Structure 1
Amino acid sequence: MRQNTMPKKLPSDLGERIEALIGEHPDGISTDELHALLAGWVSRRTLQRRLAELVEARKIATHGSGPGLRYRPLGVAGVELHQTVSASDKSSTDAGLRVSPEGEEIRRQVRQSREKRTPVSYRQSFLEQYTPNLTAYLPEPLRVQLRQLGRPAVAEIDAAPAGTFARDILNRLLIDLSWASSQLEGNTYSRLDTERLIEFGQAAAGKDALETQMILNHKAAIEYLVHDTEHVGVNPETIIALHAFLSDGLMPDPAACGRLRTRPVEIGGSVYLPIAMPQRIEELFAVVVGMAAEIRDPFEQSFFLMVHLPYLHPFEDVNKRVSRLAANIPFIKHNLSPLSFIDVPAVDYIEGLLGIYELNRIELLRDIFVRAYERSCQQYVAVRQQMVPPDPVRLRYRHQLTALIATIVRSDARAEPAVIRALLPDTVAAEDRERFIELVGEEFRSLHPGNAIRFGLRPLEFAAWRERNPSADRR
């Protein structure tokens, strides 16, 4: 007969014991490891219930998901690099990425075991050594080369409003950047799963809800950057807004969403310890973003953000995601090819960041940045060049066109020529009116709940209009 070794009555201080054990493991501890330590006191089911209660009471924090879920003390937020480097990873990435001799040297150093790497903290001198528009992480010949790659051979794009290029390829960019950036965080969604989620709202079967949330957060953040170009820029408000979008529903402490860090963090897999004092974080965040805003060259500005935002680590988590999307702001503003991070192996990216964190060396991350941008250009410049040249009337009256379509939908009117003509803005010149009316009709014929966001319309708002106007042309 099996002996039941579980006590009949749980210790009154069980929660405190669990919390104390977790406090001894700042890098995190799994449910299995905790259960092994508490096997004589509590069943696995009871332990899981108590852990959930402690998380809900904000006495402990979680990180990761599924089998990788770990519990950490709330006082020190832990940030993982999400990848370890195996021998097979090294050989495969070495073959795929062209690395400079300096990059190879950085690789050798960061691939040493953690015990052989010297612990370091934030060095303000690394930032102070940089002077905007005098210092250059990217040499001028390289910046010229990247600009030639990133600018499509379409004359109209030079005079187009900021964000035109990104809006033209938005559907493709939403999928590519959401998927690739999430993969760098360990997300297991496939590109096809990502496409279904973004275009049709279909979450992939068997995936953790946090992975789905991560993809949707990327989508919202990218749409914000592309659609609100009049307000988006390299400024503290935009960077904090990106964090709010990207961290939504993913932070152990919801109050940390869209807010600068107020507690220490450790970075798993690295010997780098970010700065801890909230006042210094706030001061340096303003300095970093202010310096970035002064940089005139979009490529140098983009790379500076990729280097110094993760290095400062101004948020409890999601810093790398913020830096990757922030790096796209200069490209969107200058109508250059965006940077999607497609085909960037996580191991390469992480080693590049370790070079920044532990050595203050930018060469390996620069190699990765250049290769990633070349790969993005191969996709998006080609896509943009194959598109029909922009209609000059559409370009001239883009704001009026957007406003009129939204007005028709929200006023429950019919998208008929007579209605459009009656609502025609006075700012449309007489010689452009017939073409403008045609463009409104064309937009309505291709409009559906998935792309109504382009006109500031929510999908449900547009769907309701469709239901009340069943005779409206359908795509």
Structure 2
Amino acid sequence: MEVIRKALEKFKDGASIETIKKATGLDLEPRTLLRRLEKLVHQGVVTTSGRTRAMLYRLAKVPAQPTEEKDKAANGAEANIIPLSEEGREILAAVSRPTAVRHPVGYNIDFLHGYRPNVDSYLSPEDKRKLAELGKTAKLNQPAGTYAKEILQRLLIDLSWNSSRLEGNTYSLLDTQQLISQGKVADNKTAMEAQMILNHKDAIEFIVQSAEEIGFNRYTITNLHALLSNNLLADPGASGRLRTFGVGIGSSVYTPLGMPQQIEEMFEIMLDKAREIADPFEQAFFIMVQLPYLQPFDDVNKRVSRLAANIPLNRLNLAPLAFVDVPEDMYVKGMLGVYELNRIELFKDVFIWGYERSALRYAALRQSLGEPDPFRLKYRDEIRALITEIVSSAMTPDEAAIIINAKSLKLPMAAQRKFVETVDTELLSLHDGNFARYYIRPAEFKRWKEAWGRK
């Protein structure tokens, strides 16, 4: 279908089915080609004109930035920060339409069956080279999991917070740090939110500590689900067990498989194909695409896919994927493209951008790998003054959270959430070797560490 779409780019005025067959070079029966074209029409990717033998097919016209203003209003500073490919924008336009006008679809077995490991690839050679360069660490030749173990405390906070945030969890970064490090539950938050974060902590530790033993197999994925879904499902026995009934997807016209036998079969095929993939980044992205698409578990499928994506990265001591700065809306829209169109380009744009942000977070020499964060540059004085005030006054985490939120409210609404996250990140990154940049004296830093409960 992607070959057909590419071929149609050459025919702005439309093409007949015979012309399309010739242009694609695909060895398909006319009836099979017709079914593919009809599916593209249903997806809104292709339009038709004329009738029967005179029917012409052409790509649907998509505005250059169809949802830009709406996204800016809805997501503020997080909107449109990811550079999208032309295909990504096309998918974004299609899945941003009201559900009432999107064509209902079911699970497409060919989407998984048609993928040939190490022959087909969601990521281009250029994509893989870029990701490999970003992911380099000083521990590439060390035993599996060495790098993740060295940064484990920070990884536990970052990945737990970001993955939970993508599920709508309202814990702040500082709340998450307090919960993971000291077991302190945040006020005015639900027990479910705390449970979600603590489950992430357990699941990340499982991946890191068992790096030599785990992989894309039933034991790993079902136990990962059991850890992530602990105390969150209506049926406790559903943790780590494949789904036995049909489910729906919120805000989507996609309906996953409902027959337990088919779910079981496709689950095993998915794992078999994942194991065969040689490139770690292709492995990571493949499981992020195919596992949520299959929805093998009652719930918590996307969380399992996000943590499972780190298995090949951890095994080779590459920088982890912590979903730093990934906007929830763009992540969801990328998944909708997979669910409803079997198109991965928008989700791939999000994946590559998200990995770059994560790799920069964990790089030993961040400035050598990328440009300074424009947001931090813009609010440099406000961030510095606030951190200096918090540390010099030896504020506790609770006191700091109050003043950070209060200061953020003085900024434009679109910048408030990002400001809180940035200050939280800076506070968590403070140590004996870098606090002087905030004009803090050693005695002040020592008092603050004691108030903060840090060693």
TM over 0.5: yes
**Would the aligned equivalents of 1:168 and 1:384 in 2 still touch at CA under 8 Å?**
no
Contact 2:242 2:298 in 1 (8 A): yes
Q: Structure 2 residue aligned with 1:112, among 94, 97, 108?
A: 97
Runs of 4+ in 1 over 6 A off after TM superposition: 383-386
Give the match for residue 268 of structure 2.
Answer: 286
What amino acid is aligned across from residue 136 of structure 1 in structure 2?
Answer: S
> Which one of 287, 293, 314 corresponds to residue 305 of structure 1?
287
Matching residue within 212, 222, 237 for 2:219: 237
Corresponding residue of 2:302: 320
Of the three residues 194, 197, 209, the one matched with 2:176 is 194
1:298 and 1:260 map into 2 onto residues whose CA distance is 25
Q: CA deviation at 1:163?
A: 0.3
Q: How many residues align?
A: 300
* Distance (Å, rounded) in 1 between the aligned partners of 2:141 and 2:80: 41
Aligned AA (1:114): T
* 1:164-189 residue CA offsets vs partner (Å, 9 max, x unmatched): 11111111100000000000001000
8 Å CA contact 1:240, 1:258 repeated in 2: yes
| Counterpart amino acid of residue 105 in structure 1 | E
Structure 1 position 95, deviation (Å) = 2.8
Match of 1:261 among 239, 243, 246: 243
Output the CA distance in 1 between the equivalents of 2:215 and 2:293.
Answer: 20
Residue of structure 2 equivalent to 1:246: 228
247-256 or 85-94, larger mean C-alpha shift: 85-94
What residue in structure 2 maps to residue 148 of structure 1?
133
Does structure 2 retain, via aligned residues, the 8 Å contact 1:179–1:191?
yes
1:465 matched residue in structure 2 = none
Partner of 2:115: 130
Counterpart among 60, 83, 86 of residue 101 in structure 1: 86
Aligned to 1:275: 257
Aligned residue identity for 2:249: I
Q: CA deviation at 1:233?
A: 1.0
Report the equivalent of 1:342.
324
Cα pair distance change 1:201/1:384, threshold 3 Å: farther
Contact 1:151-1:336 at 8 Å conserved across structures? yes
Three-state SS of the structure 2 residue aligned to 1:159 is: coil
Aligned AA for 1:130?
A: Y
Gaps of 5+ in 1: 1-84, 387-474
SS at match of 1:96: coil
Task: Say if 2:145 and 2:208, in contact at 8 Å, map to a contact too.
Answer: yes
**1:35-114 maps to which residues of 2 (within 5 A)?**
88-89=73-74, 92-114=77-99
Quick one: distance in 2 between partners of 1:283 and 1:221?
A: 25
Distance 1:127 1:135, change over 3 A: same
| Cα distance in 1, alignment partners of residues 87 and 269 from structure 2 | 28
Establish whether residue 163 from structure 1 lines up as the match of residue 145 from structure 2. Answer: yes
Q: Which position in structure 2 is the counterpart of 1:211?
A: 193
User: Does the CA contact (< 8 Å) of 1:246 and 1:322 recur in 2?
Assistant: yes
Q: Which amino acid aligns with 1:128?
A: H
Please give the per-residue CA displacement for 1:104-153, whole angstroms capped at 9, x wherever unaligned.
Answer: 0000000000011000000011112210001010001110111011012x
1:352 corresponds to? 334
In structure 2, C-alpha distance between the alignment counterparts of 1:348 and 1:122, rounded to whole Å: 22
The residue aligned with 2:431 is: none
Q: Do the aligned residues in 1 keep the contact of 2:136 with 2:319 (CA within 8 Å)?
A: yes
Give the superposition deviation at 1:93.
Answer: 4.3
- Tell whether the 8 Å contact from 1:310 to 1:323 is kept in structure 2 after alignment: yes
> Structure 2: 5+ residue runs without aligned partners?
1-69, 369-454
Give the counterpart letter for 2:185 in structure 1: A
- The one-letter amino acid of 1:149's match is L
Match of 2:15 in 1: none
Q: Which residue of 1 aligns with 2:356?
A: 374
The residue type paired with residue 89 of structure 1 is A
* CA 1:376–1:86: 2 relative to 1, 3 Å: closer
Query: Could you tell me how far 1:99 is from its partner in structure 2?
Result: 0.5
* Matched AA of 2:89: E
Bigger CA radius of gyration? 1
Paired with 1:199 and 1:91, the residues of 2 have a C-alpha distance of: 31
CA–CA separation in structure 2 for the residues paired with 1:302 and 1:318: 17
* CA drift at 1:230: 2.0
- Give the letter aligned to residue 103 of structure 2: T
In the alignment, the residues of structure 1 paired with residue 367 and residue 73 of structure 2 have an alpha-carbon distance, to the nearest angstrom, of 38
Q: Deviations over 1:449-472 (max 9, x none)?
A: xxxxxxxxxxxxxxxxxxxxxxxx
Question: Which amino acid in 1 is paired with 2:311?
Answer: I
- 1:89 touches 1:347 (CA, 8 Å); kept in 2? no
The answer on 1:175 being equivalent to 2:160 is no
RMSD of the TM alignment (CA)? 1.7
Does the residue aligned with 1:316 lie in a helix, a strand or coil? coil
Percent identity, please: 53
Give me the whole-angstrom Cα distance separating, in 1, the residues matched to 2:79 and 2:87: 14
- 1:295 paired with 2:280, answer no
Structure 1 residues 151 and 306: alpha-carbon distance in aligned structure 2, compared to 1, 3 A threshold: same
- Displacement, 1:382? 2.2
Structure 2 distance, partners of 1:259, 1:195, is 30
Q: Which residue identity does 1:164 align to in structure 2?
A: T
Counterparts of 1:251 and 1:381, CA distance in 2: 37
- Contact 1:178 1:215 survives alignment (8 Å): yes
Q: Distance in 2 between matches of 1:92 and 1:384?
A: 23
SS of the residue corresponding to residue 259 of structure 1 reads: coil
